Amino acid sequence: MFDAFTSQDVRHFLLAFALAIFGLIFTTVMAKRARKNMGPQHVGFAEKHEFDGRVSWHCVWMEMAKLLAKGRSCDPRLKVGCVIVSADNTRVFGLGYNGSWAGGPNEPESLQPGKSGFVHAEVNALIKCDFHTPAEKIMYVTHSPCIDCARYIINARISAVYYDQEYRDLSGVELLKNAGIYTAKMSSIVKYDEPQTEIS
């Protein structure tokens, strides 16, 4: 699906990504200033470690997934984006969004849930992933995986899955957890840089 990318598409995506990161940095700095005026009752889990003002990698990768969904998916009902990265946050292994096959029509077969005919974002990211590199792989996806995608994720030996919104069917999340894959909703984790001991 990425064969149709043009240099202009790449420039637009990089510009949108840079603007999103700038917005995250600005919001994070303002939140840090606001916390200085809050009493101890407002101190939450994020303050258990020293906060140095940087946007967490969790937010960086999830924003990238959201941009893929918003900027590339042609599904009018549900736009999903997915990013697979190394656990040390130094490499991007795969990108994907829900859409047609390479060169296929950019219109869903149906607007009914589950019948769009589009390839899911997780699958598109997984088929592009470099599995020759023996590195722990983490997936960030805008919506929690369906049951079928969960099976692919397990077989691909993804170490952890972070999602932003819940899919209508949470059986995929339950399967991932039962298979021993750390799975968490973004709102339930710390969004500031701190040791990622939960995925070790």
The residues that are catalytic are 122
Alpha-carbon gap, residue 82 to 67, rounded angstroms = 10
Contact yes or no for 199/138 (Cβ under 8 A):
yes
The one-character DSSP state at 42 is G
Distance (Å, whole) CA 181 – CA 154: 8
Residue 11: strand, helix, or coil: helix
Classify 31 in phi/psi space as left (phi over 0), alpha (psi -120 to 50) or beta.
Answer: alpha
